[in-house]
Chain A
Amino acid sequence: MTGQLIQSLVDALSAGATLGLAALSIGLVFGVIRLANFAQAEIITASAYCLIFTWELGWFIAVPLSIIVAVAMSLLMEFAVFSRMRSANPATLLIASFGLSFLLQRVYELMFSNNVRTAPVASGLAQTVEFAGVRIQLLSVATIVIAGLVLLGLHLFLTRTSMGLQLKAAAADFRTARLVGIPAGRVIALSFALSGILAAAVAFVLTVQSGAVGPTFGVQITILALVGAVIGGIDKISGSLAGGFLVGFVTSMLATWLPQEMSNFKDAYVFVLVIGVLLFRPSGLLIKGRGVART
């Protein structure tokens, strides 16, 4: 029983970490330009395809390449689509990102067909190890470590560098940041680039988990990540991260501990949680009051 509890806790931490990163990748961009980018799913998918197609060249080529693809695609979306819609309201931006998402899914279908592509990406992590009598998936531990390292790097960047500080300020109050002299174009591009790096980390974990990538590969986690970001408070970087983690953690625990006949509906319970949060804390669990109005 204790072994199963520890095992489920590690799995839930891993699921929470993955979803936390995905939600953070959305929250970073939202904080700056009020875009909840649904097409983040297709950045994850592109990065995952890259891992699948280049894995046989070696991880030291495949992993950096998948990060480059994610960052390039994120920046391309910004320059080709969203930079042309600066004065649009958040609802319009969200709908545009839906459109972009569906368009890219069709493009992936045309390029790679509807069938999934497979490769043994980091298959060594797919093993189970026994530690003090508890069986733990190596991938779960690796996911927690990867998420920890990515978050530490992001934290150091945001707190120790001038660019990071500018991004934090822009995410908190974009209009004032510009009035202080922070260049809008630079911080927006930076938020998309960092968001791309986070998407690549998520793509890596998911690709190792499944080993198979199709045109809609990134969609499900992006929906849950959006839900997590809203629950935590998409207005704040830390809110998105915490909300994403919470949704991932709860979903994983429900999958383990709910009776078989109920666990099929685990996502439904998560959405009940969302409804509750939206009713009683519409700005998110981590946002005090109603959040800061933006113009």
Chain B
Amino acid sequence: MSIVDDARSGSGQASRGLRVEGLEVAYGGVPAVRGIDLEVKAGEAVGLIGPNGAGKSSTLLGIMGAIERSGRVLVDGQDLAGLPPEKVVRRGVALVPEGRHVFAELSVTDNLRLGAVARRDRAGYSEAMEHVVTLFPMLRDFGHRQAGLLSGGQQQQLAIGRALMSDPDILLLDEPSLGLSPTAVDTVFEALDVIRAAGKAVLVVEQRAEFTIAFCDRTFVLHDGEITLSLKPEDAEKVDVLTKAYFG
């Protein structure tokens, strides 16, 4: 059953969840993330918002093992301690990086093929490809096009598609709306809704506070590397809550 079918039936396969305990990240002794605890369950979307330099991207990179970290990152109860990013992907966690970072000189299809390198189930490649192009039909139409020639919104779809090719249970996204038109942002978040409904755990870092709070099941506000506030979707339209979230 595809991601799309899953979402339509509302079944949501039993996926794993992410638990972060006391995550700390520092750059040259300067702390960027100071002991964050959070949990994202299967079929749930959690947002991380906050001003620039709050530690949002560092949190995601710390979870991926791309930068040195301390604290515990648990996937399905198993600690990812000491694992490099490529092994974290094999444990079912995929990151859509800030700025998309598609392989610009390679074709769309090759980008997707690379996403499947870390699949735990190699036999499911064709099925995964079918799921991804069903979710983002543009990727089928432009399969042979160089990824660098796509628009920003199309590249974001490709970056998400590439991440999905590894069949992750947990999808991390770093500012997926960055630099995109409102229509492109809608396309991306509609897809994220489908992915969440399919039972994946989604952790999304964003700058668009109101939008993120409304979309996510829970949203945490990060300030100076610490979670200072937890918000629910109904808080999205409360101006005082948003002001407090950003300005303390």
Contacts and interface: CB of A to CB of B under 8 A. Distances in A.
Contact of B86 (A168, A172, A178): A178
A248 B90 CA distance: 45
B118 A172 contact: no
A195 interface: no
B103 A169 contact: yes
A33 B125 CA distance: 29
B89 A181 contact: yes
Interface string B113-126: 11101100000000
Tell me if B's interface is mostly helix, strand, loop or mixed. helix
B95 A179 contact: yes
Contacts of A175: 66
Given A162-B113, A165-B113, A180 B118 contact: yes
Contacts, number: 60
A183 B166 CA distance: 14
B97 interface: yes
Interface stretch (B28-36, B104-112, B189-197, B201-209): B104-112
Contact of A180 (B84, B89, B104, B105): B89
Given A165-B106, A169-B106, A180 B66 contact: no
Tier of interface size on chain A = 10 to 19
Contacts of A180: 89, 114-115, 117-118, 162-163, 166
A177 B64 CA distance: 13
B64 A168 contact: no
Interface string A224-247: 000000000000000000000000
Interface in A158-182: 162, 165-166, 168-169, 172-173, 175-182
15 contacts: A172-B103, A172-B105, A173-B103, A176-B101, A179-B85, A179-B95, A180-B89, A180-B115, A180-B117, A180-B162, A181-B89, A181-B115, A181-B117, A181-B118, A182-B118
Given A172-B105, A181-B90, A181-B118, 18 more contacts: A162-B113, A165-B106, A168-B106, A169-B103, A172-B104, A173-B101, A175-B66, A176-B101, A178-B85, A179-B95, A180-B114, A180-B115, A180-B117, A181-B85, A181-B86, A182-B114, A182-B117, A182-B118
